[in-house]
């Protein structure tokens, strides 16, 4: 039985009466706590690298590497999914969440082999982040350079 | 002349064109469904055994102490989740046959199902179970579908015993339908937790399929086929008479010695076992729900439809049942189903297997359990024991399933759902059913 538009609308209204609201406030607080904790750990690393004499840009890059490594490790021992269950976006958004999104399919599909399993499916979750991240970077770069008057077309494209 | 005209006119009106014939056929099918939406078995089909194999999370739930085999982990020594699930089915099948007091060759058919693509677990388990196998896919409703078909095969006298086995595996389902198991994500409260485990049931052994027939060395002796069919024909006829209410003792006795013996032995066996007396196969209902994280909400209309058709087909009210238990609508789908029934004038307090399998206070399973094993585990570990003990006289078990795939919901399709109802009565109640 395929419901028509009216039946669908009526049923959606009935379902909405029983559907629990998403615990937004709860989720926001937990995301803040979990995401904030990850950032605090990052800050500890950053300060350490800075004290050891790394310039700010390199200290930032080393911090990212450290957080990725920790995210990958926690995924490997089966803890990161538990943290993200509680922390939601607070655990997904930091770069440790990105590590989780790559390590978890790599672990899952290892059983299908190194090429068609790990290799082919490792970016199954993170792929969209890479694709649209690059696209966004390209657009931002064009806008930035355009705004600073540094955008010039290559010779063969100029009228 | 007028009579001839009427006949001619009738003939022409009835079969004017091919389209007309098709329409007429469709009409008569619809008519038949309206009249007989429910399969009523000629004799009660005993559930001879019901066994469970339960995963770690299921053991931690309220039914933890009642499962027959507890799994230490999700892999049980196998290399993959998928093969582990197949192993669950092998274990459950072997245990069920033993619990029924049968040998493997006494089982004429296995009806199996799981959630994996191409029924992975069932197909691989069937290599080891090594019995004639029919694979079923009804998503989480597979258990109901298997019991319904198994009871029908026994009732028709086509099988002496049928093994029904269903399984699901949390991790195998997660990676197939959602994300890799270790991927961190937050789910809405309406999401459900796919159960890990397997349940197996042995049906038959009643007076339908020649329960007293001596099993041959390989389950079907050279002459077994014809003579059994002959016996079945007799028992079927008795069954029909009994169902019509005009069968009497004399009529039964005329069936011959073998039949009387078979019926008596079968009745004795049936008196100790819960019996399936009727079933209603579900229609696929799609109310336009697209959210794969609200399967209870998607399935509720299918469950309500099947419950209503079963009650109508059996001419019974909801109070005739000690309990109406839905498959896995879970916390938020069950009240929706109750509302839908109320709109049709049926006041029923439903119970739900998805709400029964886990402890909400201690286990973070969101809305409750799901998966082909969920209602199978609850039926075998909780519902059937109550029926067997006489606590419940008449149980309506309504397994619900969402027939979606990762592809279908990613392509924006709504979720077609189905529910199959199986009516199970307490031992000794079969004759009055």
What are the residues facing B168 on neighbouring strands?
B197
B294 is a domain residue: yes
A12 is a domain residue: no
Q: Report chain A residues whose CB lies below 8 A from the CB of B340.
A: 14
Computed over its alpha carbons, how large is the radius of gyration of chain B? 23
B150 is a domain residue: no
Q: A41 and A119, same structural domain? A: yes
Of B19-28, B42-51, B311-320, the least confident: B19-28
pLDDT at B26 over 80: no
Residue B271 binned pLDDT confidence (cut-offs 50, 70, 90):
low
**DSSP secondary structure string, B332-359?**
HHHHHHHHHHHHTT----EEEHHHHSS-
Is A85 in CB contact (< 8 Å) with chain B? Answer: yes
Residue B257's pLDDT is 37
Asked if the Cβ–Cβ distance from A84 to B185 is below 8 Å, we say yes
Residue B253's pLDDT is 34
Is A128 in CB contact (< 8 Å) with chain B? Answer: no
Q: Which domain holds residue A144?
A: 126-159
Asked if the Cβ–Cβ distance from A18 to B332 is below 8 Å, we say yes
Q: A90 and A159, same structural domain? A: no
The model's pLDDT over B397-426, given as tens digits with 9 standing for 90+, comes to 999 999 999 999 999 999 999 999 999 999
Please give the share of chain A, as a percent, with pLDDT higher than 90.
91
Q: A49 and A105, same structural domain? A: yes
Question: The complex's ipTM?
Answer: 0.90
Of A25-34, B181-190, B268-277, the least confident: B268-277
B92 is a domain residue: no
Q: Looking at CA atoms only, how far is residue A84 from chain B in angstroms? A: 5
Q: A117 and A52, same structural domain? A: yes
Would you say B143 and B327 are in contact if contact means Cβ atoms under 8 Å apart? yes
pLDDT at B265 over 60: no
- Other beta carbons within 10 angstroms of residue A28's beta carbon come to 13
B167 is a domain residue: no
Mutate which of B116, B183, B342 to disrupt the A interface (most A C-beta within 10 Å)? B183
A38 is a domain residue: yes
Q: A151 and A141, same structural domain? A: yes
B406 is a domain residue: yes
Q: Looking at CA atoms only, how far is residue A32 from chain B in angstroms? A: 14
Q: A156 and A85, same structural domain? A: no
The angle at the Cα of A26, spanning A21 to A29, to the nearest 5 degrees, equals 145
Q: A107 and A83, same structural domain? A: yes
The model's pLDDT over B144-163, given as tens digits with 9 standing for 90+, comes to 999 999 999 999 999 999 99
Q: A130 and A120, same structural domain? A: no
pLDDT at A67 over 50: yes
**CATH number, position B375:** 3.40.47.40
Asked if the Cβ–Cβ distance from B294 to A12 is below 8 Å, we say no
Residue B430's pLDDT is 58
The mean pLDDT of B52-64, rounded to a whole number, is 96
Distance CA B323, CA A60 (A): 62
A3 is a domain residue: no
The mean pLDDT of A137-157, rounded to a whole number, is 88
Residue B3's pLDDT is 39
Phi (first) and psi of residue B159, to 5 degrees: -135, 145
pLDDT at B238 over 70: no
The mean pLDDT of B238-252, rounded to a whole number, is 35
Q: A131 and A118, same structural domain? A: no
The mean pLDDT of A136-154, rounded to a whole number, is 90
Structurally, how many domains does chain A consist of? Answer: 2
pLDDT at B222 over 50: no
Angle, helices B120-129 vs B81-99, to 10°: value is: 50
- Joined tokens for residue A10: 């009526």
A13 is a domain residue: no
- Other beta carbons within 10 angstroms of residue A57's beta carbon come to 8
Q: A157 and A96, same structural domain? A: no
The model's pLDDT over B366-405, given as tens digits with 9 standing for 90+, comes to 999 999 999 999 999 999 999 999 999 999 999 999 999 9
Distance CA A98, CA A146 (A): 31
Is A111 in CB contact (< 8 Å) with chain B? Answer: yes
Structurally, how many domains does chain B consist of? Answer: 1
The model's pLDDT over A73-117, given as tens digits with 9 standing for 90+, comes to 999 999 999 999 999 999 999 999 999 999 999 999 999 999 999
Q: Looking at CA atoms only, how far is residue B251 from chain A in angstroms? A: 44
A49 is a domain residue: yes
A47 is a domain residue: yes
pLDDT at B212 over 80: no
**Torsion, Cα of B340, B343, B344, B345 (10° steps):** 120
Would you say B48 and B150 are in contact if contact means Cβ atoms under 8 Å apart? no
B184 is a domain residue: no
Q: A152 and A86, same structural domain? A: no
pLDDT at B269 over 80: no
pLDDT at B431 over 80: no
Q: A142 and A93, same structural domain? A: no
- Joined tokens for residue A50: 């800075």
Q: Looking at CA atoms only, how far is residue A56 from chain B in angstroms? A: 31
Mutate which of A15, A91, A96 to disrupt the B interface (most B C-beta within 10 Å)? A15
The model's pLDDT over B323-352, given as tens digits with 9 standing for 90+, comes to 999 999 999 999 999 999 999 999 999 999
Asked if the Cβ–Cβ distance from A18 to B364 is below 8 Å, we say no
């Amino acid at each position: 039985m395929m419901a028509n538009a009216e039946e669908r609308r009526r049923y959606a209204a009935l379902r909405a009466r029983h559907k629990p609201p998403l615990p937004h406030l709860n989720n926001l607080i937990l995301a803040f706590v979990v995401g904030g904790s990850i950032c605090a750990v990052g800050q500890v690393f950053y300060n350490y690298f800075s004290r050891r004499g790394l310039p700010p840009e390199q200290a930032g890059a080393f911090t990212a590497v450290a957080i990725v490594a920790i995210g990958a490790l926690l995924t490997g021992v089966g803890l990161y999914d538990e943290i993200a269950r509680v922390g939601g976006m607070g655990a997904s958004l930091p770069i440790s969440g990105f590590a989780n999104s790559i390590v978890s399919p790599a672990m899952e599909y290892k059983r299908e082999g190194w090429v068609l399993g790990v290799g082919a499916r490792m970016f199954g979750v993170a792929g969209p982040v890479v694709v649209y991240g690059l696209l966004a970077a390209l657009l931002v770069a064009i806008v930035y350079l355009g705004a600073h008057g540094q955008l010039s077309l290559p010779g063969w494209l100029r009228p | 002349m007028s009579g001839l005209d009427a006949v001619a006119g009738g003939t022409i009106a009835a079969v004017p064109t091919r389209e007309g014939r098709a329409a007429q056929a469709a009409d008569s099918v619809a008519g038949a469904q309206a009249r007989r939406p429910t399969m009523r078995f000629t004799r009660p089909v005993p559930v001879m055994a019901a066994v469970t194999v339960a995963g770690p999370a299921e053991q931690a739930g309220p039914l933890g102490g009642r499962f027959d085999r507890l799994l230490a982990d999700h892999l049980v020594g196998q290399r993959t989740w998928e093969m582990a699930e197949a192993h669950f089915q092998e274990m459950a099948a072997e245990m069920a046959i033993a619990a029924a007091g049968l040998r493997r060759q006494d089982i004429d058919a296995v009806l199996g199902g799981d959630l994996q693509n191409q029924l992975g677990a069932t197909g691989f388990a069937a290599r080891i179970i090594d019995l004639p196998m029919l694979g079923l896919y009804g998503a989480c409703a597979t258990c109901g579908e298997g019991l319904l078909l198994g009871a029908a095969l026994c009732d028709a006298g086509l099988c002496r015993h049928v093994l029904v086995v269903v399984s699901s595996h949390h991790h195998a389902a997660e990676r197939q339908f959602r994300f890799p198991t270790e991927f961190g994500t937050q789910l809405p409260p309406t999401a459900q937790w796919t159960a890990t485990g397997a349940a197996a049931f042995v049906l038959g052994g009643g007076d339908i399929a020649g329960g007293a027939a001596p099993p041959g060395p390989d389950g079907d002796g050279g002459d077994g086929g014809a003579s059994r069919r002959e016996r079945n024909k007799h028992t079927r006829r008795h069954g029909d008479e009994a169902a019509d209410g005009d069968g009497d003792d004399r009529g039964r006795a005329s069936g011959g010695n073998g039949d009387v013996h078979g019926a008596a032995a079968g009745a004795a066996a049936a008196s100790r076992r819960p019996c399936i007396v009727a079933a209603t196969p579900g229609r696929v209902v799609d109310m336009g729900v697209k959210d794969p994280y609200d399967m209870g909400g998607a399935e509720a209309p299918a469950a309500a439809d099947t419950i209503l058709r079963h009650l109508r087909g059996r001419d019974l009210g909801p109070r005739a049942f000690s309990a109406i238990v839905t498959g896995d609508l879970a916390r938020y789908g069950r009240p929706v189903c109750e509302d839908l029934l109320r709109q049709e004038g049926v006041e029923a307090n439903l119970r739900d297997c998805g709400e029964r399998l886990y402890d909400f206070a201690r286990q973070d399973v969101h809305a409750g359990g799901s998966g082909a094993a969920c209602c199978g585990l609850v039926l075998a570990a909780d519902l059937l024991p109550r029926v067997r003990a006489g606590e419940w006289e008449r149980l309506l078990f309504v397994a619900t399933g969402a027939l979606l795939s990762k592809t279908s919901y990613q392509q924006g399709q709504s979720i077609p759902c189905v529910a199959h109802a199986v009516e199970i009565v307490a031992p000794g109640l079969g004759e009055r059913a």
